[in-house]
Amino acid sequence: MTPLEIVAVIFNIAGVWLTARRVRWCWPVSVVAVLLYGWIFFEVKLYSDMLLQLVFAVLQGYGWWRWSTGRIDAGKVRVERLPVQEAWRHLFAGVIGALLLGAAMHHFTDAALPWLDSLLTAFSLVASLWAARKYVVSWWLWIVLDTVYVGLFVYKDLQLTAALYAGFVVLAAYGLVSWQRDLRQQEQQLSVA
């Protein structure tokens, strides 16, 4: 456990909590968090996760823009359902991305766990895209991914990061319940109108 990891954990908790609360300031807070973790993952040779953090930094900008231009109720963004065809396209892209990145990391780097790391990286991108688009189902994917990440980080002896991701599972469950409730309320308001 390093001071950098402690600071990164604090920023990550704040970013996910703000996301679950549907507060758009989650995006700039998360930029700091992902850049800190980019460096941490470089140090422990989780290169796919390092690259993921850099892509996350760009996605944070997309999320900020998307949440800033979307419909807002009482200061919070409106959540949406994921269209089925879009879900299949994104999941297929996740599989292809995982295979391509895994092969590259396996053949061209000394990555510690190239295939698992690449799989988690690819589907984290899918989950991030879904969160940026305010899809409730993003939380289900985060619950699965973060659960697997806990084991990965325990294996890599990143105990504080493993604890952070266990906390992310709890926050994702909170986000899921909160966003599902908000979606039901939004749909009820539309059916009354």
Number of domains observed in the structure of the chain: 1
Beta bridge partners of 80: 135
pLDDT band with cut points at 50, 70 and 90 for residue 74: low
- Inform me whether the pLDDT recorded for 70 exceeds 90: no
- Inform me whether the pLDDT recorded for 67 exceeds 90: no
State residue 129's pLDDT score: 94
- Inform me whether the pLDDT recorded for 76 exceeds 80: no
Residues 121 and 128: their CA atoms lie apart, in Å, by: 10
Q: What mean pLDDT comes out for the span 6-35? A: 93
Spatial neighbors of 46 by CB under 8 A, at least 6 apart, are 111, 112, 113, 117, 152, 156
pLDDT band with cut points at 50, 70 and 90 for residue 191: confident
- Inform me whether the pLDDT recorded for 190 exceeds 90: no
- Inform me whether the pLDDT recorded for 72 exceeds 80: no
φ/ψ of residue 138, rounded to 5: -55, -35
Residue with the larger pLDDT of the pair 144 and 79: 144
CB atoms within 10 A of CB 83: 10
- Reported as a single tens digit per residue, the pLDDT across 99-155 is 999 999 999 999 889 999 999 999 999 999 999 999 999 999 999 999 999 999 999
State residue 48's pLDDT score: 84
Residue with the larger pLDDT of the pair 12 and 190: 12
State residue 52's pLDDT score: 87
Q: What mean pLDDT comes out for the span 164-192? A: 91
Spatial neighbors of 30 by CB under 8 A, at least 6 apart, are 11, 12, 15, 16, 19, 56, 60, 63
State residue 71's pLDDT score: 66
Residues 99 and 74: their CA atoms lie apart, in Å, by: 42
Among 55-59, 83-87, 90-94, the range scoring the smallest mean pLDDT is 55-59
Domain that holds residue 171: 3-192
